[in-house]
Amino acid sequence: MLSWFCGRRVIEDTVRVELPDDFQKAEFLLEHGAIDMIVHRTELRATISDLISSCTKIKIMQLYDLSLNFADILLILPLVLFSFFSFFRGFVSELLSLLLWVFTYFCSIFLHSIFIDQLPSFGINKDIFSSIVIIILFLLIFISGRILLKLISKAVQWSGFGLIDRVLGCMFGAAKGLIFINLILFMLPTDIKNSSSLGDSVIYAQMQKFNPSIVNFAKSMISDNNSVMLDAYTIKDINF
């Protein structure tokens, strides 16, 4: 037992390296190649930092070359806001929210035609009472749908696809923002469209390429006489 203890003590003394000062520590690290590793790592970090700095300067120069004006900033802002809020809401919530608005609108109109003749008007004007019924139906359906969407969103977050859902939501929000901007541009008066601010805008020039496609698509949807929705129901059936 004593020999085993003494042997272990000798091994520990042999393995232990005494480094009394910083100079000997540096010599020890240099002999074992550790300093080379530190130097290479420092040089790599410096190279990456220089590369990022160069890329940032290039991006700034590219943005400067685009000559973005105040109108460009106003056009970019809705796109950024739509993307930002959609990122936190997620793709599932964004898509279901859009479907909820469409479903609530048509469902309230359909139910209105059923309940309007069965509910007492309480002496209220028929047009006003019709509008009140539609508003109440719309709010009831929409609130119920929002509660259901909250439950679905929580289930998606707990499923482990939260990050993917947020990234897709950001892309979906950007698409909505693009459509929103194009619709606003389409409704602008001709005087504003012909102004120097929009004329010098880089983004507006690109947006003009999308507007004809969106307008033609909307016109084709409205004028589609074979649509089941338009055949089943027309807006003149409701007295607001």
Give the pLDDT confidence of 189-214 residue by residue, as tens digits: 677 777 777 767 777 777 666 666 65
- Rounded to 5 degrees, what are φ and ψ at 68? -70, 135
Q: What is the pLDDT of residue 10?
A: 43
Share of the chain above pLDDT 90, in %: 1
Q: What is the pLDDT of residue 120?
A: 67
- The C-alpha atoms of residue 5 and residue 107 are separated, in whole angstroms, by 88
pLDDT for 72 beyond 70 = yes
Q: What is the pLDDT of residue 24?
A: 57
* H helix intervals, the chain: 2-15, 22-31, 34-66, 70-89, 91-115, 126-158, 162-187, 190-193, 196-199, 202-207, 211-222, 228-232
pLDDT for 92 beyond 60 = yes
pLDDT for 77 beyond 80 = yes
Q: What is the pLDDT of residue 11?
A: 42
- Which whole number is the average pLDDT over 70-80? 80
Share of the chain above pLDDT 70, in %: 50
DSSP state of 64: H
Q: What is the pLDDT of residue 52?
A: 57
Q: Provide the angle, in degrees to the nearest 10, between the axes of the packed helices 162-187 and 126-158.
A: 150
DSSP state of 236: G
Which residue's entry shows tokens 């240099």? 30
- The C-alpha atoms of residue 188 and residue 15 are separated, in whole angstroms, by 82
Query: Is-contact 17 28, C-beta < 8 A?
Result: yes
The two tokens of residue 37 are 């590793």
More confident site: 103 or 194: 103
Q: What is the mean pLDDT of the chain?
A: 66
pLDDT for 68 beyond 70 = no
Q: What is the pLDDT of residue 231?
A: 44
Contacts of residue 76, Cβ cutoff 8 Å, sequence gap at least 6: 203
Number of residues that make up the chain: 240
Q: What is the signed CA dihedral for 132, 134, 135, 136, rounded to 10 degrees?
A: 80
Query: Is-contact 182 210, C-beta < 8 A?
Result: yes
- Which whole number is the average pLDDT over 76-92? 82
Residue 116 CB neighbour total at 10 angstroms: 17
Q: What is the pLDDT of residue 143?
A: 92
List the Cα angle 179/185/188 in 5-degree steps: 145
